[in-house]
Amino acid sequence: MEYAPRAQRRPAAPAAAAPGLPPGHDERVRGAHPHAEPGTGAAPERAEGLPRPRRLPERSTVRDQVLRALRGALLTGELRPGAVYSAPALAERFGVSATPVREAMQLLAREGAVEAMPNKGFRVAERSSRDLAELAEVRALLEVPVVLRMARTLPASRWEQLRPLAEATVAAAALGDRAAYAEADRAFHRALLELSGNRQLVAVADELHRRSQWPVTEDHGHARPGASPVRGISARLVADATQHAALLEALVSGDLTAVESLVRRHFAGA
């Protein structure tokens, strides 16, 4: 019995090439492993026994860490007023690339802590006692009326929320840690103003407070014979923290006369 010959199957037409690719070139090898090396189609070799790679830190995280370290160095005088520092030199010191250091220094330049020097680096700003007094005056104009207004209306329970923050300033001052005290000091004032519910006020006052914390140039000048700069700074920190504690007690007890006296004295000595 004879059978009719089977029809010849025509070969499938080649897939259309992707735009910009030569004819016959497919973007992906059919049946290739999804994580294959380009052009091989084979599955990548698995490194047995090796831990999974850790997620690399985001650049902003590194920048923030560098920024925190730079602020601490500025507060302690490790980065001297008037001195010029290059981003590559600071990067080598911190063990990071120059990019996050440069970004952190640019943020400090916006705050007025340093100024950019083309083709050189960044110069640490020199701050005079007059600069500090002017900042204290502006802060007082903003914060004193708000604190006095809240002292008349807020119950003692709201003020009690600030006690851990006030105690943190006392602890940092006792250690003489200028960088830790700066953070605790700002946290106390920020939380105090947050009770007003005015976010814009909090943001503006916090920025002014940060600027007021950079040391004045005289702190790194010639000390009096026999004087201890560290001891003098520690004494100022302790006095400032003591005022926080006293102000909080007056606010809790509702002693408006004491509140006004303490808050004005606090900014007069800021």
- Residue 155 has a pLDDT of 97
The enclosing domain of 251 has a CATH number of 1.20.120.530
The candidate with the shortest Cα–Cα distance to 214, out of 70, 85, 44, is: 70
- Residue 233 has a pLDDT of 72
- Most confident residue range from 53-62, 75-84, 183-192: 183-192
In this structure, the answer to whether residues 146 and 205 fall within a common structural domain is yes
Which amino acid makes up residue 141?
A: L
The mean-pLDDT minimum among 38-42, 62-66, 174-178 falls in: 38-42
Range 21-31 average pLDDT: 41
Number of domains forming the structure of the chain: 2
- Residue 105 has a pLDDT of 95
At 240, the pLDDT band (50, 70, 90 cuts) reads very high
The mean-pLDDT minimum among 34-38, 112-116, 151-155, 265-269 falls in: 34-38
The candidate with the shortest Cα–Cα distance to 193, out of 157, 116, 140, is: 140
- Residue 218 has a pLDDT of 60
79, 104, 124 - which closes a domain? 124
In this structure, the answer to whether residues 93 and 169 fall within a common structural domain is no
Q: Is 220 domain-assigned?
A: no
Give the full edge-to-edge strand order of the sheet including 121-124.
84-85, 121-124, 114-117
Range of the domain at 194: 129-213+230-268
Range 124-144 average pLDDT: 93
In this structure, the answer to whether residues 195 and 244 fall within a common structural domain is yes
Q: Is 77 domain-assigned?
A: yes
In this structure, the answer to whether residues 154 and 177 fall within a common structural domain is yes
- Residue 55 has a pLDDT of 46
Tokens representing 29 are 């090898």
In this structure, the answer to whether residues 115 and 200 fall within a common structural domain is no
Give the residue, 5 or 223, on which the prediction is more confident. 5
Q: Is 223 domain-assigned?
A: no
In this structure, the answer to whether residues 252 and 189 fall within a common structural domain is yes
d(CA 195, CA 252): 14
Q: Is the pLDDT of residue 41 over 80?
A: no
Indicate if the alpha-carbon torsion angle 183, 186, 188, 190 is positive or negative.
negative
User: Model's pTM, two decimal places?
Assistant: 0.69
Q: Is 263 domain-assigned?
A: yes
Q: Is 108 domain-assigned?
A: yes
The enclosing domain of 90 has a CATH number of 1.10.10.10
Q: Is the pLDDT of residue 209 over 70?
A: yes
Share of the chain above pLDDT 70, in %: 71
In this structure, the answer to whether residues 118 and 134 fall within a common structural domain is no
In this structure, the answer to whether residues 168 and 255 fall within a common structural domain is yes
